[in-house]
Amino acid sequence: MDFKEPIKYDDFAKIDLRVATVRAAAHHPNADKLLVLQLDDGSEGGRQICAGIRGHYEPEQLVGRQIVIVANLEPRKIRGEVSNGMLCAASDLSSGEESRQVVLLGVDRQVPAGSPIS
């Protein structure tokens, strides 16, 4: 297995991982592999992220689920929709790109939205 080059702890400590609850999910209107998620991240108004998990999850499977997000990734416009973060997922690439399994990272019991991960 190929691992990325090691980073210093101070660089890792800059990443703000948080728990978010999926409030709504829909297919991205302009992309075949993306879903648009509306999240409760503990902030006023929440946030929207775009995630390349279409084909692995249907929108209705995600509503109410708690996931792990990178909360301090700078916003990016993806095919006309703004993504304010990134969800964390594991991929099994041993069977090739076309048949890979994608598994969302979450918590093993409910915690308040916005809880930090350390």
Residue 48 inside a domain? The answer is yes
pLDDT tens digit string along 46-62? 999 999 999 899 999 99
pLDDT for the residue numbered 108? 96
Looking at the 3D structure of the chain, how many domains does it have? Answer: 1
Residue 83's CATH number: 2.40.50.140
| pTM of the predicted model as reported, rounded to 2 decimal places | 0.90
Residue 115 domain-assigned (yes or no): no
Q: Is residue 1 part of a domain?
A: no
- Does 4 map to a domain? no
Residue 78 belongs to some domain of the structure: yes
- Position 110 confidence tier, pLDDT thresholds 50, 70, 90: very high
Q: Count how many residues are written for the chain.
A: 118
The CA–CA distances, whole Å, from 48 to 11, 34, 68, 101 equal 25, 13, 14, 24
Predicted confidence band of residue 115 (pLDDT cuts 50, 70, 90): very high
Query: 24, 76, 86, 21: which is closest to 52 by C-alpha?
Result: 86
Can you give the pLDDT at residue 98? Answer: 65
Mean pLDDT of the chain: 93
List the domain range (segments joined by +) for residue 92. Answer: 9-104
Could you tell me if residue 118 is inside a domain?
no
Mean pLDDT of 20-38: 95
Cα–Cα distance for residue pair 96/31, rounded to 1 Å: 22
Tell me the average pLDDT across 52-79: 96
Nearest to 55 by CA among 86, 33, 78: 33
Residue 65 confidence (pLDDT) above 70: yes
Tell me, yes or no, whether 87 lies in a domain: yes
Asked if residues 50 and 34 have their Cβ atoms less than 8 Å apart, the reply is: yes
Does residue 114 lie in a domain region?
no
